[in-house]
Amino acid sequence: MLNTHTLYFLLTIAPFALALAQAPSPPQAFPAKGDNGEMGGIFGMGQAMVAAGLPKGGFPNGPEFPKPGPRFTNGGSGPYKAWYTTDPGLPQHTIFAPKAAPPTGVKVPVIIWGNGGCMASGTMFSDFLTEIASYGYLVLANGNPAANTTTTAPTGAEINPLAGLLAAAGRGISKVQMLTDSIDWVTKGNAAKFGDIDIAHLAAAGQSCGGLEGKSILSSYATSYHDDRVKLTVLFNSGVIDPAKKYLLKELKAPVAYFLGGPLDIAYPNGEADYPLLPEGLPSVKVSLDSGHMGTYGATGGGKFGKAAVAFFEWQFRGDAKAKAKFTDPASEGSLVKDNWNVTMKGF
């Protein structure tokens, strides 16, 4: 029987292998847009992704990867208890938001999310995304909700940290267009029931292949590429795989953040290599925790990755001084350094 790490490996790499077989010659000029119809968009998997470089038997975990145990999925630790739902106007997505709209005067920033493996399973990262939403954010994730996710488990039940992944199996593959659909939907005013939506503060984010969708990230990178509606690009365990495509990083205009899983994270060298290639003067931050490729997303509230992500969005979109200090002042209360993260930044 396959273990969960091998399953994630197969689910994630199988579509990558298909992309390899179909990979075109690298372009010689900057494309007009990030969505070229392929998995991960223009930043997606290329010929440098070779089988010899992949781990055997799945992705190894680091010491920070959560152990199976109780998960208290009570709507997040923020001031607005959150949940996930759907909307007929955005039929291929899952929406994470506060259960009750925040009070008048509280702006609700937007996060567009692409899943690991470019999977079309909106609840694959439910603990993590619920935690972010509980601080007054609207999160639009690729794919419909899947059954048996950690968010639907009994309070305190012992849950495998990769339960969201297991529920995502067989849900299909997402496209960069799904992230663009989310942006179009929310910027047209369709999310008003969730509060005072702040489309001036919109981030493209994702994990692994979903990160590339967001750039183009392999999705986050692609979505933010030449789209000035995106004000922040956030990649979790991600980075450009094909060296021939790294020149495209020079066209990124929005600040970029990398949340990596240390040397055992298969995407760690990609994110590390991308960071110094970002445009001169572009604000960027790179943080890393020794968790491995799957981070701590399946822990209560998304674990340390959840805490760090909330702090980053609160700093960037709300100007929260305490949240900023967690990144910039190692001696501050709750700093990332105290939580075993390595932190590097420039331009902020």
**What is the biggest distance separating any 2 CA atoms in the chain, rounded to whole angstroms?**
55
Q: Is 52 exposed, middle or buried (0-12, 13-18, 19+ CB in 10 A)?
A: exposed
Backbone angles phi and psi of 197, in degrees to 5 = -70, 130
What pLDDT does residue 47 have?
37
> Within a 10 A sphere around the Cβ of 324, how many other Cβ atoms?
17
Does 4-16+36-42+71-346 carry CATH code 3.40.50.1820? yes
How far is C-alpha 272 from the geometric centre of its chain's CA atoms? 17
Collapsing DSSP to helix, strand or coil, 262 comes out as: coil
Are the C-beta atoms of residues 298 and 164 closer than 8 Å to each other?
A: yes
CA dihedral (239, 245, 250, 251) in degrees, to 10, reads -100
Domain ranges of the chain: 4-16+36-42+71-346
What is the pLDDT at residue 73? 66
From residue 211, give the alpha-carbon distance in Å to each of 40, 71, 112, 239, 257.
8, 26, 10, 7, 11
Count the Cβ atoms, other than its own, within 10 Å of residue 314.
Answer: 22
Taking the C-alpha atoms of residue 202 and residue 270, their distance in angstroms, rounded to an integer, is 25
User: pLDDT at position 122, please?
Assistant: 87
Give the Cβ contact number of residue 88 at 10 Å: 5
> 76 and 301 in contact (C-beta within 8 Å)?
yes
Residue type at 276? Answer: P
Residue 69: CB atoms within 10 Å = 13
Cα separation, 179 vs 187, in Å, equals: 12
Length of the chain: 348
pLDDT of residue 11: 44
305, two tokens: 């990755």
Which tokens belong to 147?
């059954």
> Which residues pair with residue 198 across a beta bridge?
109
Q: Per-block average pLDDT, block size 10, for the chain (348 residues)?
A: 47 41 47 49 43 55 85 85 96 96 98 85 90 98 72 49 53 76 96 98 86 47 78 93 86 94 95 96 98 93 97 98 98 98 96
Structure letter (DSSP) for residue 282: -
The structure's pTM equals: 0.80
Q: Could you tell me which of 254, 213, 234, 177 has the C-alpha nearest to residue 42? A: 213
Distance CA 216, CA 46 (A): 14
- Measure the CA angle with vertex 85, ends 168 and 317; round to 5°: 95
